């Protein structure tokens, strides 16, 4: 947890990068295939890290990741009226904004519910 989760190369102000920023393949550019998992923030990756933190007793860190995730999505809704599939870690800007991507982003609701359980 300390070596990876708290590392700013992995944890951005807006959430978890799907690849650490200091990795040679790190890339947050849009590609022909919008599913770029080489660095952008993806809610499923955030959820998996969130669950791991809870499972290993790091509740404070799990709460922090939940807050970052929910805030990221809330800012997108406020700015664009919907949510995107993935986000730029450095800015929180949506990548390939579609405005109506709910699917696995609903895991953010699960994060909130699991903290209340």
Q: What tens digit of pLDDT does each residue of 16-50 get?
A: 999 999 999 999 888 766 678 899 999 999 999 99
- DSSP secondary structure of 47-88: HHHHHHHHHTT-HHHHHHHHHHHHHHHHHHHHHHSS--SEE-
Contacts of 35 (CB under 8 A, 6+ apart): 85, 86
Q: Which is higher by pLDDT, 103 or 12?
A: 12
Helical (H) or strand (E) element with 43: helix 43-55
Q: How confident is the model at residue 101 (pLDDT cuts 50, 70, 90)?
A: low
Q: Specify which residues 11 forms β-bridges with.
A: 16
Tell me which residue of 12, 16, 13 sits closest to 43, measured CA to CA.
16
Q: What is the pTM of this model?
A: 0.90
75 burial via Cβ count (<10 Å: 0-12, 13-18, 19+) = middle
């Amino acid at each position: 947890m300390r070596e990876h989760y708290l590392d700013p190369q992995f944890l951005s102000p807006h959430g978890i990068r799907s690849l650490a920023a200091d990795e040679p393949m790190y890339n947050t550019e849009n590609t022909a295939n919008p599913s770029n998992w080489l660095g952008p923030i993806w809610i499923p990756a955030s959820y998996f890290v969130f669950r791991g933190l809870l499972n290993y007793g790091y509740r404070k860190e799990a709460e922090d990741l939940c807050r970052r995730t929910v805030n990221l999505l809330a800012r997108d809704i406020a700015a664009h009226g919907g949510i995107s599939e993935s986000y730029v870690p450095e800015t929180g800007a949506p990548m390939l904004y579609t405005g109506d991507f709910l699917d696995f982003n609903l895991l953010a609701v699960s994060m909130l519910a699991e903290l209340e359980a």
